[in-house]
């Protein structure tokens, strides 16, 4: 059985750590209403059965290996960009597993959770491969004239690709999902438009705004093209070779 839940938490050594139920081979998405520190989440002790993978400025994946024993309890430290530290306990279970956990540090948290978040959790649990990060080289931007995108991460998991980025706009216009286009070049040279699902966003009165989108890759995909449409015919585009995901043993 899987569950999705939102937990109100506090930073500080005196606070009891929140518990997250995990199981071998089942990814868990953790999202916060504040940004992670640059060093990212880390296990308090080395443990080959669990990997922690940041996917955007305020989210990360917990990836337990299929041989994670039942009953394990692992402590995770989550540094925050604003200062302070959150602690989580990963509890290995076989019954009710957390596929998605939202951590709210502030009572007035302005986090927008899209309907697609549940679909993302199902995609993650259906995957049969380890994620491969396709980090854009250096400071990678898209400029469409009236908008600017800075990519934070591009992550491939099985047939799915997750794109996280920051968006600056001179003025608020149409929904970004109507301006963003993903295309895939397959090995034969054909260009295929890809469906888009927004799985998370960070709402704020100030800029930039943060978004994460997921799409499904066709068989034989070799290159991912990201296009941002601007005013008129203006657009910016980025092309990334698609790294192969590694099969889970």
Residue 18: pLDDT above 50? yes
Q: What is the pLDDT of residues 186-232, one digit of tens each?
A: 876 788 888 877 666 655 545 677 788 888 888 888 888 888 877 66
Confidence at residue 234, expressed as pLDDT on a 0 to 100 scale: 67
Domain range 2-109, CATH architecture: Sandwich (2.60)
Per-domain residue ranges of the chain = 2-109, 133-247
8 A C-beta contact, residue 195 and residue 149: no
> What is the pairing mode between strands 59-64 and 50-56?
antiparallel
Closest alpha carbon to 12 in 103, 84, 69: 84
CATH 2.60.40.10 fits 133-247, yes or no: yes
The predicted model gives 36-51 an average pLDDT of: 85
Facing residues of 238 across strands? 226
Do 2-109 and 133-247 agree at the fold level?
yes
Please give the pLDDT value at position 114: 41
Q: How much of the chain is helix, strand and coil, in % rounded to 5?
A: 5, 55, 40
Beta bridge partners of 79: 85
For residues 35-64, give the mean pLDDT: 85
């Amino acid at each position: 059985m899987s569950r999705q839940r939102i937990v109100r938490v506090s930073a500080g050594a005196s606070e009891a750590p929140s518990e997250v139920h995990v199981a071998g081979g089942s990814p868990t998405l953790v999202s916060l209403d504040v940004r992670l520190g640059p060093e990212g989440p880390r296990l308090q002790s080395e443990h080959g059965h669990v990997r922690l993978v940041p996917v955007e400025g305020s989210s990360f994946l917990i990836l337990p290996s299929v041989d994670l024993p039942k009953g394990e309890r692992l402590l995770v430290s989550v540094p925050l960009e604003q200062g302070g530290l959150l602690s989580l306990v990963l509890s290995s279970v076989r019954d009710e597993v957390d596929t998605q956990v939202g951590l709210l540090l502030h009572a007035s948290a302005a986090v927008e959770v899209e309907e697609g978040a549940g679909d993302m959790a199902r995609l993650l649990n259906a995957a049969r491969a380890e994620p491969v990060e396709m980090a854009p080289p250096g400071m990678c931007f898209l400029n469409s004239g009236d908008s600017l995108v800075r990519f934070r991460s591009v992550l491939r998991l099985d047939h799915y690709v997750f794109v996280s980025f920051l968006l600056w706009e001179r003025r608020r216009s149409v929904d970004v999902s109507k301006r963003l286009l993903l295309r895939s070049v397959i090995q034969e040279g054909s260009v295929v438009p890809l469906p888009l699902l927004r799985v998370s966003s960070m709402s704020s009165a100030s800029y930039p705004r943060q978004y994460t989108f997921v799409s499904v890759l066709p068989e034989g995909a070799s290159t991912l093209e990201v296009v941002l449409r601007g005013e008129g015919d203006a657009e910016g585009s980025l092309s990334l070779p698609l790294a192969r995901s590694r099969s889970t043993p």
